[in-house]
Amino acid sequence: MFTRMKLLAFGVSILLLPTSSALEIAPTMITLERDHPIATLRLANDGPTEKTYELTGFSWLQPDGNDELSTAPTLIITPPVASLAPGDDILIRIGLASPPTNGDSEQTYRIRVRDITPANRSTANALRIRMEFLLPVILPASAPQSKLSLADASEHDGALCVRLRNEGNAYQKIVGLGVDNGPAEMISIQQYILPASEATICSEAIMGLPHDRITASLAPTYASNAQTLFLTAGNASVPLQTDD
């Protein structure tokens, strides 16, 4: 089963005549199988007008803790452009041009879905906001292993900054950060950390929390179920223990 997400983009014209469109994408994250690296992506136009979307593939790395995208000719997207009438949908095929050769490494990509619908001449003076969305595409390592650690926690400009390091060979998606006092102490975030990469998360909401009790909530991956980790400075994090 895959997650569905409906994306809304709104534009408001100078004459106060609103225009709107709705694109449904499923799934919102693509995992390719190593022995058959082909998947499908469904786009559906739930809006009232015809829309055209362009899909472009990128290689996805985090060399300095920030996302870096570059062209990925080995990631094949067919068709790369799709025009959808109201109520129409289409299946896009996603795959790799050649089988993976390095089984020990996870390969990460992004697909940019961008609205390239030509502007309507009758609304030439309107303010248009075009939808653009980046979808993660993951080819897992042959033996995925998770290893997340707390590299540093320090206070800067009224915020607590937590630096997390992914020393495993599988991506981690952080969805919450806080302390082990329960859900009320957690803040919601959406942060991917790729293998051999770091990410720094700063928040005023967790300012003043004890640095030795920081926990992170992780979304489920192909390597593990959703869990909450107790972050240990300089060491691999461990699942949070409860009294249940």
Residues 176, 183: Cα–Cα separation, whole Å: 9
CB atoms within 10 A of CB 160: 21
Reported confidence tier of residue 53, pLDDT bands at 50, 70, 90: very high
Same domain, 52 and 167: no
Q: What mean pLDDT do residues 230-235 have?
A: 59
| Amino acid 9: pLDDT | 39
Question: Where among 139, 174, 197 does a domain terminate?
Answer: 139
121 in the same domain as 90: yes
Q: Higher pLDDT residue, 124 or 119?
A: 119
Report the range of poorest mean pLDDT among 17-26, 88-97, 150-159.
Answer: 17-26
pLDDT for res 64:
86
Q: Is the pLDDT of residue 127 over 70?
A: no
pLDDT exceeds 90 at position 179: no
Determine phi and psi for 210, rounding to 5 degrees.
Answer: -60, 130
Q: Mean of the pLDDT values across residues 212-216?
A: 77
Single-letter amino acid code for the residue at 187? I
Is the pLDDT at 11 greater than 70? The verdict is no
Same domain, 18 and 83: yes
Same domain? For 128 and 201 the reply is no
Bigger pLDDT: 137 vs 151: 137
Residue 154 falls inside a structural domain: yes
The answer to the question of residue 79 being in a domain is yes
> Looking at 139, 171, 199, which one is the last position of a domain?
139
Mean of the pLDDT values across residues 164-180?
87
- Do 13 and 81 belong together in one domain? yes
CATH of the domain at 60: 2.60.40.10
Q: Is 190 inside a domain boundary? A: yes
Decide: residue 71, CB within 10 A, 0-12 exposed, 13-18 middle, 19+ buried. Answer: exposed
Question: Closest by alpha carbon to 111, among 196, 29, 3, 172?
Answer: 29
| Residue of 10 and 77 predicted with greater confidence | 77
pLDDT band at 122; cut points 50, 70, 90: low
Domain span holding position 33? 5-139
176: CATH? 2.60.40
Same domain, 111 and 81: yes
Q: Tell me, yes or no, whether 70 lies in a domain.
A: yes
Residue 244 within a domain: no
Residue 80 sits in the same domain as residue 12: yes
Q: Is 215 exposed, middle or buried (0-12, 13-18, 19+ CB in 10 A)?
A: buried
Q: How far apart are CA 163 and CA 160, in angstroms?
A: 10
Instruction: Tell me, yes or no, whether 59 and 133 share the same domain.
Output: yes
Rounded to whole angstroms, how far apart are CA atoms 37 and 53?
Answer: 23
Claim to verify: residue 221 and residue 154 sit in the same structural domain: yes
Judge if 108 and 227 occupy the same domain.
no
pTM of the model: 0.81
Domain count across the chain: 2
Average pLDDT of span 173-186 = 73
Are 118 and 158 in the same domain?
no
Last residue within a domain, chosen from 139, 158, 186: 139
Asked if 124 and 154 sit in the same domain, the reply is: no
Q: What is the mean pLDDT of residues 44-66?
A: 94
For 103, the token pair is 């089984």
Arithmetic mean of pLDDT, 118-145: 80
